[in-house]
């Protein structure tokens, strides 16, 4: 085998391994999305994935919602539409960025710069409960912090949700 063939075989093997990793990561993401819907009692229409294309539009294609960044994590933007039919409160899209990667044979997940949490794999499936719990606490803190900031300085702060105020 000449040098070009050696380099090509290394390249081909790397592409195959990356594609396998991407497919495994996609399965991991799909498992998370199922657990996310269940944990938050969301109907699928209240969960939105966002594309990494220029317009950042909602997408039904999870592969378009996944982007491998230089930090070696897959980044996925997910939105939760907060709207209850027949309730007179404005709709809110709560968007967060999920980061995950395989590390030392297991997947880890995190939100933004928060600490990583290892996702256990038992009985042939991933268990996302602890991460969903952290995500829930993150949402609660987000709204509580924004409300406190708004109440302290309403003239210079915006709420984490768009609610009409009257003066």
Look up the pTM and report it: 0.81
Contacts of 116 (CB under 8 A, 6+ apart): 103, 108, 109, 110
What does residue 113 show for φ and ψ, rounded to 5 degrees?
-95, 15
Give CA angle at 51 (84, 103), nearest 5°.
100
Which comes out higher in pLDDT, residue 51 or 91?
51
Encode pLDDT of 100-120 as tens digits: 999 988 999 999 767 899 999
| Whole-number Cα distances in Å, 158 to 22, 77, 152, 165 | 39, 22, 11, 11
| Residue 135: Cβ-neighbour burial (10 angstroms; 0-12, 13-18, 19+) | buried
Q: Which one, of 46, 31, 60, 126, lies nearest residue 118 by Cα?
A: 126
CA 57 to chain centre: 15
- Mean pLDDT of the region 128-156: 77
For residue 53, the tally of other CB atoms under 10 A from its CB is 10
Which range is least confidently modeled, 36-50, 87-101, 140-154? 140-154
């Amino acid at each position: 085998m000449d040098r070009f063939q050696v380099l090509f075989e290394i390249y081909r093997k790397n592409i195959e391994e990356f594609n396998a990793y991407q497919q495994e990561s996609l399965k991991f993401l799909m498992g998370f999305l199922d657990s996310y819907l269940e944990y938050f009692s969301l109907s699928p229409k209240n969960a939105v994935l966002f594309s990494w294309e220029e317009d950042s539009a909602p997408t039904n294609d999870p592969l378009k919602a996944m982007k491998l960044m230089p930090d070696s994590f897959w980044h996925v933007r997910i939105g939760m539409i907060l709207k209850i039919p027949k309730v007179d409160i404005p709709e809110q899209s709560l968007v967060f960025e999920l980061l995950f990667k395989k590390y030392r044979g297991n997947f880890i997940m995190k939100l933004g710069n928060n600490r990583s949490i290892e996702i256990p794999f038992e009985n042939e499936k991933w268990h996302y409960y602890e991460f969903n719990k952290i995500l829930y606490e993150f949402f609660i803190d987000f709204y509580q912090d924004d409300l406190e900031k708004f109440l302290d300085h309403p003239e210079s702060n915006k709420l984490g949700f768009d609610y009409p105020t009257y003066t």
